[in-house]
Amino acid sequence: MKEGWRIAAFAVVIAVLVMALAPYIWIVLTSFKTRLDALADTPVWLFTPTLDHYPEVFIGKGYLPLVWNSAIVAVSTTLLSLAVGAPAAYVFARHRFAGQEDLFFFFLTTRMAPPIAIVVPMFLLFTEIGITDHLIAVIIAHTSFTLSLVVWMMRGFFADIPREVDEAAQMDGLSRAGTFLRVLVPMAAPGLAASAILCFILSWNEFLYAFILVAFEGRTLTVGIPGLITPHGTLWGQVAAVAVVATLPIIAFTVLVQRHLVRGLTFGAVKG
Amino acid sequence: MGSAVLDRYVGVWFLTPALVLLLFILVGPFAFMVWTGFTDLSFALPNRDGNFVGFDNFRRLMRDPLFWDSFLLTVRFMVVAVAIELVLGFAIALLLFHQLERRRLVLTLLMVPMMLAPVAIGLIWKLLLQGDFGMMTYYLRKVGLLGDQQVLLSNPDLVMPAIVAIDVWQWTPFVVLVMLAGLMSLPREPFEAAVMDGARPAQILRDVTLPLLRPIIALVVLLRGIDAFKEFDKVFILTGGGPGTATELLSIYTYRMNFKDWDLGYGAACAFMVYFVVLILCAIFYKAVFWQEGRSRAKGRAGA
Amino acid sequence: MTVEFKDIRKAFADGTIALDRFNLAFDEGEFIVLLGPSGSGKTTACRILAGLEEPSGGSVWVGGRDITNLPPRHRRMSMVFQNYALYGHRSVYDNIAYPLKVRGAERSQIDGRVRETAAMLDISALLDKRPRQLSGGEAQRVAVARALVWQPEICLMDEPLSNLDALLRLQTRTELKRLHFELGTTFVFVTHDQEEAMTLGTRIAVLREGRLVQFDTPREIYRKPATRFVAEFIGRPAMNTIDGVIRDGQFRAGPLSVPAAGRPEGPVVMGARPEELAIADAQGPGAGLFTVDVVEQVEPDTLIFLKNGDTEIVVRALREAEELAPGAQVQVRFPEDGLHFFDPETGERIP
């Protein structure tokens, strides 16, 4: 009886996993399929793989710089968010001042802001100061939501460090800024790394800001994908190849931060 | 001496960059959006270069049936998708809570859909749902859920359910993850007390698990609700709002007003409405989070 | 209706063995205390009896029936948890009513029982409150009420007093004793506090490292500890134990020599409770010379800590030690009939 339940539960778990993963596996398979296999009436699961699509799209169609752009944007966004966000998080974790919670809530709303509402005025403003079509425009736009992620996550990590640590450091002769840089930041390093990876993922995956704010040379990988879809004769093998390259680093990073993922995605409200 | 004074106000120095940055990248654009909403700015029509028109755009918005169709579609999408994700996610979380073997691995694999770029997800499902060679189309027809000539993404009646299903596919793992974390954070004693009090599993679920999880459930509903209300990327790639306006969610509609019609004054009014709803949801979220924190403090004291 | 643990073994997933060949049997109406240091398996034994934990081996019998695989709700047992485990989202009334409700009792009957039980525990005024509004002692009473309201056959208590402050703990202890006397329900009480065990239990089961060491009335356990461990665990200050040998009808340890007639020769551990020892005026049989180390006034008694070479002992005296100063040389008399002897290898009592 008990054993029966266990097997049934396991079967359900397997079924859920198949449903969750099959679509992704399919796109990975498609990226290695010949055009004939990809367009077959009956789904082809076993086939002779071809590696042609990758060079075709990344070299032939010049998609390689897009990977580079995505990486630059994601890394810069991450560094900017950490540099600006971590000190702010420290203040929220350690200091008490009037209106603190309201200010903190303001940081939350920035993360929630609908991109479609912000992107239009941003586009107009950036056109005005002439930074559209530069990656810097996307980096700034992305920071609008990654910054609050860093503040929210890092506040939690800093708050987890006992206040006595600060006090001990100050008794040892460090200034407050020194305490933050030399004691708290190293102690919160795992949290910093988790925040960094989540920032990277969010920025790398983002579409709308990048789509509206830059064109041509500055396109990121997510922006490049729709360009491959045409009403007729979409080369699905190439599309799939780009999709795989766009998603693989994210999956690798997900494995790295899975422990902190829940915390990051729920604004620190739930510790995973 | 000087550095000591600097250090004293370290809080100010640490907070200022973040505030300035946010002012520049969010408050500025937001104010600009609100202002644009009161003008007739348009890049498509002549002589409309930002003259003040008062509430004209908002009046037009209130009378625009397309806007309201889009608004209701978005609300329906949000409610249906989040409801399904919640029920399904909770069920799977309960299952995983009791299924201990290889839970870490299962969770990691389960995270894949929610971590992929929404654009990539749109693309994956566009491929799967192609009419003549889509893998999912083939199997759906095989088991009789889809007619031989029907194509999900171009059938006005089926396209919205399909998009809900894709959203469920993408975000149910998130609900599972958060609910499972919530379940694991619950104290063990109330459950054991209920067992000793003679409660059956279904009674324990109703009388102990759900009440204790209420803050987490509120959190999930609001986070997912806000995200679903803003939905853009997937639908943009999958259908672009079509066929017709069958999937024209509010974000897509706003996009069309701004970047297809270049009617920026009116578009800003639309954008403002999206922002407004999100802000309301945010405010509820804020209350819910604080309610939860108040509860856990009380919990620490009474041990309940 | 007897309760019986038969050869219970419990190994946890992490490899810890909580219970090993644990056997214990007791009767209806008793107040059984499971006593032991942390890690001794006492809580595990209680949870296995409750059905919250499944034994890895052996069986549990109640009233001649094997209940090892019976779900907790069919066992007619209730439990009071260490942190009370009240349902935070329900009123005190609903907390107490819950066991009756899930067991399908009628509304009128529920109300009667809840009010009756609340009156018995003196918490009638709290019925409309929420658990978070209660003090520790009040929450404790509500937890006890919830465990007793449906008149279970056995009431299990897992360290229920350890979250209370000292004074409240004493009061609640007395109350529990009174409840047991009035209700006649079988109580199984887990604690690491030997004083609690001595005052509450009709019988005490002393556990150590997953095994039952001794099961007897508090008096017998005090007077005839089965092992050196029990001897040192029960009673404060702990029993003095001195390693030595028996030769020529004398227990010898260093310069100390105490008559121990008729005992087998060889190495042995001698034990003597602090109150059995006495400061003697002059040298005599069964006395030894010790140096006063520290004197503690624990009114109305005086504890005198003494040394002789490596041997350290404590004497509980009434008055006469007051003028003793550290460094003073005194004679301590070991009365022959107040001595315990244990095997130095196994720790077992030598009769």
Average pLDDT over residues B187-191: 90
Which region holds residue B47: left if phi is over 0, alpha if psi is between -120 and 50, else beta?
Answer: left
Amino acid letter for position A240: A
Which token pair is A69?
């752009």
Of B103, B186, B196, which to mutate for an interface test with C (greatest number of C Cβ within 10 Å)? B196
Query: Which of 32-71 (B) contact A at CB < 8 A?
Result: 32-33, 36
Tell which of C183, C216, C233 closes a domain.
C233
Half-sphere exposure in the Cβ direction for A172 (13 Å, CA) = 11
SS3 B200: coil
Q: Find the residue in C nearest to B186 (Cα).
A: C85
- C-alpha distances (whole Å) from C263 to each of B121, C75, C220, C277 are 87, 50, 22, 20
Which token pair is A167?
């006090």
pLDDT of residue C80: 94
Same domain, yes or no, for C89 and C153? yes
pLDDT of residue B44: 77
End-to-end alpha-carbon separation of chain B, Å?
52
Is B302–C146 a contact, with Cβ atoms under 8 angstroms apart?
Answer: no
What interface predicted TM-score (ipTM) does this complex get?
0.90
In this structure, the strands spanning C186-191 and C154-158 are parallel
User: What residues are paired with A201 via a beta bridge?
Assistant: none
pLDDT of residue B296: 46
Which token pair is A175?
């200034």
Mean pLDDT comparison of B43-57, B81-95, C297-311, highest-scoring range:
B81-95
| Chains within contact range of chain C (3+ C-beta pairs < 8 Å) | B
Question: What domains, with CATH codes, occur in chain A?
Answer: 62-265 (1.10.3720.10)
Which token pair is C120?
């018995």
CA–CA dist A22, A14 (Å, integer): 12
Which token pair is B72?
């209701």
DSSP letters along B21-78, please?
A: HHIIIIIHHHHHHHHHHTB---SSSTT-SS-B-TTHHHHHHHH-HHHHHHHHHHHHHH
pLDDT of residue A123: 87
CA–CA dist B93, B258 (Å, integer): 41
Same domain, yes or no, for C261 and C130? no
List of chain C residues with pLDDT < 70: 319-322
Q: Is the whole model's pTM more than 0.90, yes or no?
A: no
Residue in A117, A207, A270 closest to B274 by CB: A117
Same domain, yes or no, for C219 and C246? no
Strand order in the sheet with C186-191: C77-80, C154-158, C186-191, C31-35, C203-208, C211-216
CATH number, position C147? 3.40.50.300
Same domain, yes or no, for C90 and C228? yes
Average pLDDT over residues B221-237: 92
Split at pLDDT 50, 70, 90, the class of B2 is low
pLDDT of residue C319: 65
DSSP letters along A216-253, please?
A: GGG--HHHHHHHT--SS---HHHHHHHHHHHHHHHHHH
pLDDT of residue B206: 93
Same domain, yes or no, for C213 and C293? no
Question: What domains, with CATH codes, occur in chain B?
Answer: 63-302 (1.10.3720.10)
Same domain, yes or no, for C318 and C246? yes
Same domain, yes or no, for C201 and C263? no
Number of structural domains found in chain C: 2
Q: Chain B contacts of C131, Cβ < 8 Å?
A: 302-304
Same domain, yes or no, for C123 and C250? no
pLDDT of residue B299: 40
Per-residue confidence in pLDDT tens, chain A, 272 aa? 578 888 888 899 999 999 999 999 999 999 999 888 888 888 888 888 888 899 988 998 888 999 999 999 999 999 999 999 999 999 999 888 888 877 887 887 787 888 888 898 888 888 888 887 789 999 999 999 999 889 988 998 998 899 999 889 988 888 888 899 999 999 999 899 999 999 999 999 999 999 999 877 788 999 988 888 877 778 889 999 999 999 988 998 888 887 787 777 776 667 65
pLDDT of residue C322: 62
Same domain, yes or no, for C225 and C244? no
CA–CA dist A223, B259 (Å, integer): 16
Residue in B6, B133, B271 closest to A117 by CB: B271
Q: At what angle do helices B65-98 and A2-30 cross, to 10 degrees?
A: 130
| Longest Cα–Cα distance in chain C | 77
Kindly report the backbone phi and psi dihedral angles of residue B97, in degrees, each rounded to the nearest multiple of 5, phi listed first: -60, -35
Pair A124, B51: CB distance under 8 Å:
no
DSSP letters along A9-60, please?
A: HHHHHHHHHHHHHHHHHHHHHHTTS-HHHHT-SSPP-S-----THHHIIIII
End-to-end alpha-carbon separation of chain C, Å?
33
CATH number, position C277? 2.40.50.140
| Chains within contact range of chain A (3+ C-beta pairs < 8 Å) | B
Average pLDDT over residues B153-176: 94
The neighbour count for residue C171, using CB atoms within 10 Å, is 12
Q: Which residue has the higher pLDDT, A133 or B195?
A: B195
Residue B292 has pLDDT above 60, yes or no: no
pLDDT of residue B230: 92
What sign does the dihedral B180-B185-B188-B194 (CA atoms) show? negative
Same domain, yes or no, for C228 and C298? no
Q: Find the residue in B nearest to A268 (Cα).
A: B289
SS3 C249: coil
Q: Calculate how close chain B gets to A195, using CA atoms only, in Å.
A: 15
Q: Chain C contacts of B303, Cβ < 8 Å?
A: 83-86, 131, 136, 139, 163
Average pLDDT over residues B141-169: 90
pLDDT of residue B304: 30
Average pLDDT over residues B165-181: 94
Contacts made by residues C145-148, CB under 8 angstroms, sequence distance 24+: C145/C96, C145/C117, C145/C118, C145/C120, C145/C121, C146/B193, C146/B197, C146/C78, C146/C86, C146/C95, C146/C96, C146/C98, C146/C99, C147/B196, C147/C78, C147/C79, C147/C80, C148/C78, C148/C117, C148/C120, C148/C179, C148/C183, C148/C185
Is B123–A19 a contact, with Cβ atoms under 8 angstroms apart?
Answer: no
SS3 B301: helix
CA–CA dist B191, B213 (Å, integer): 13
Kindly report the backbone phi and psi dihedral angles of residue C226, in degrees, each rounded to the nearest multiple of 5, phi listed first: -75, -25
pLDDT of residue C88: 87
Same domain, yes or no, for C66 and C148? yes
Amino acid letter for position A211: F
Q: Find the residue in C nearest to B196 (Cα).
A: C78
Same domain, yes or no, for C205 and C256? no
pLDDT of residue A78: 96
Residue of C340, C17, C40, C16 whose CA lies nearest to C190: C40
The neighbour count for residue B226, using CB atoms within 10 Å, is 23
CA–CA dist B169, B238 (Å, integer): 15
CA–CA dist B168, B157 (Å, integer): 18
Q: Chain C contacts of B190, Cβ < 8 Å?
A: 85-88
Is B36–A124 a contact, with Cβ atoms under 8 angstroms apart?
Answer: yes
Q: Find the residue in A nearest to B277 (Cα).
A: A114
The neighbour count for residue C327, using CB atoms within 10 Å, is 8
Amino acid letter for position C150: W
Range of the domain at C276: 240-350
Residue B300 has pLDDT above 70, yes or no: no
pLDDT of residue C305: 92
Q: Calculate how close chain A gets to B137, using CA atoms only, in Å.
A: 10
Tell which of C233, C253, C277 closes a domain.
C233
Tell which of C203, C233, C263 closes a domain.
C233
Tokens 């993963």 map to which residue? A21
pLDDT of residue A41: 81
Give B156's contacts (C-beta < 8 A, 6+ positions apart): B243, B244, B246
Pair B246, B161: CB distance under 8 Å:
no
CA–CA dist B154, C46 (Å, integer): 64
End-to-end alpha-carbon separation of chain A, Å?
32
Go through chain B and tell me how many residues it has.
304
